[in-house]
Amino acid sequence: MQKKYLQLTTQKIAYFEMGEGTPLIILPGWGLTSDKFLELQKILSKNFHTFSLDLPGVGESTNPEKPYSVSDYAHVVCEFIRKLNLPQYNILAHSFGGRIAIKIAAESPVKLKHLILTGAAGIKDKNNLKKNIFKILAKTGNAFFSLPIISKMEKSARKILYRLSKGYDYLKLTDPIMKKTFQLIVEENLTNLLHKINIPTLLLWGREDTLTPVSHAKIMHEKIKNSQIIIYDNIGHRLPYAMPDEFAEQVEKWFYKK
């Protein structure tokens, strides 16, 4: 299957389009391309008109021309949807894609009818040691690793500390704009937007998720009025693409039997 391309004001977005009927926009997690969700999209396309995006800076979509915030990504996705000229649409979002979806659902919900969040990011833990480590490393950068004791084992130290802080995605980035983008994104807490979401919302989570724990899903469920939560045992953050058949079945059951 060939990807399609849509030129926006500042971005060219690559995407897969499949199926007919109710439009469903799929937003991948950080660093994941639409290819990762291809199997899930194929299954869902039997009942939905699906669009799975390479977000700016990933895959075959162009890089941001400046560091992007979550709002910038939301703006790009909304422009993509407007270009498709859809009368209404639904969003299925994973991990970082969940941040974008929360922004859209809370601030630009006019044509958005249903929301599905899985392993969605956006909740910022207070006094989280791992995130505090990442914040220090992101701000001090090479200065920290130039310390005499650390410099002797710089390469190993970087990997260990970034893994401990869940900042390994940051370590892998080489583009300065994308590094700054990552910092802007992880520092934003979207908790205060959740109560503004009034559309039917399905939360699908893996109980073993260590990146966006089940406790975050429960906060979202508590604050999003019209929401349902389903937790899968023995699976973590990879839920939507590790279990595409079970995941799609639950989405369809919820969507068509509400």
For the record, the structure tokens of 177 come out as 């704009």
Say if residue 119 is in the same domain as residue 133.
Answer: no
Give the position of tokens 């969605």: 120
Say if residue 24 is in the same domain as residue 94.
Answer: yes
Give the confidence band of 45 by pLDDT, cuts at 50, 70, 90. Answer: very high
H or E segment at 170?
Answer: helix 168-172
Say if residue 220 is in the same domain as residue 152.
Answer: no
Indicate the number of domains in the chain: 2
Torsional class of 167: left (φ above 0), alpha (ψ -120 to 50), beta (otherwise):
alpha
What is the average pLDDT across 112-132? 81
Say if residue 93 is in the same domain as residue 219.
Answer: yes
| 114 Cβ contact partners less than 8 Å away, ≥ 6 residues apart | 90, 91, 199, 200, 201, 202, 255
pLDDT at 125: 76
What is the average pLDDT across 64-68? 96
72, 42 contact by CB (below 8 A): no
Asked if the model's pLDDT at residue 69 lies above 50, the reply is yes
Say if residue 136 is in the same domain as residue 251.
Answer: no
Asked if the model's pLDDT at residue 234 lies above 90, the reply is yes
Say if residue 134 is in the same domain as residue 237.
Answer: no
Say if residue 105 is in the same domain as residue 142.
Answer: no
Measured torsion, CA atoms of residues 173, 77, 131, 67, in degrees rounded to the nearest 10: 50
Asked if the model's pLDDT at residue 246 lies above 60, the reply is yes
Give the confidence band of 248 by pLDDT, cuts at 50, 70, 90. Answer: very high
Say if residue 91 is in the same domain as residue 168.
Answer: no
Asked if the model's pLDDT at residue 147 lies above 60, the reply is no
Query: Which pTM does this prediction carry?
Result: 0.86
99, 120 contact by CB (below 8 A): yes
pLDDT at 145: 46
Asked if the model's pLDDT at residue 146 lies above 60, the reply is no
Please tell me whether residue 227 adopts helix, strand or coil conformation.
strand
CA distance 201 to 169: 28
Say if residue 44 is in the same domain as residue 114.
Answer: yes
Average pLDDT over the chain, rounded to whole?
A: 88
pLDDT at 172: 67
Q: Which domain range does residue 140 map to?
A: 129-181
Asked if the model's pLDDT at residue 131 lies above 70, the reply is no
Among 181, 211, 246, which residue terminates a domain?
Answer: 181
Among 144, 163, 181, which residue terminates a domain?
Answer: 181
Asked if the model's pLDDT at residue 141 lies above 90, the reply is no
Asked if the model's pLDDT at residue 91 lies above 60, the reply is yes
Among 165, 181, 197, which residue terminates a domain?
Answer: 181
Say if residue 65 is in the same domain as residue 148.
Answer: no
* Of 164 and 55, more confident: 55
Domain holding 35: CATH number? 3.40.50.1820
CA distance 109 to 158: 41
* Of 28 and 148, more confident: 28
pLDDT at 229: 98
Asked if the model's pLDDT at residue 130 lies above 80, the reply is no
pLDDT tens across 148-185, in order? 554 544 555 455 544 544 455 655 677 899 999 999 99
Say if residue 38 is in the same domain as residue 115.
Answer: yes
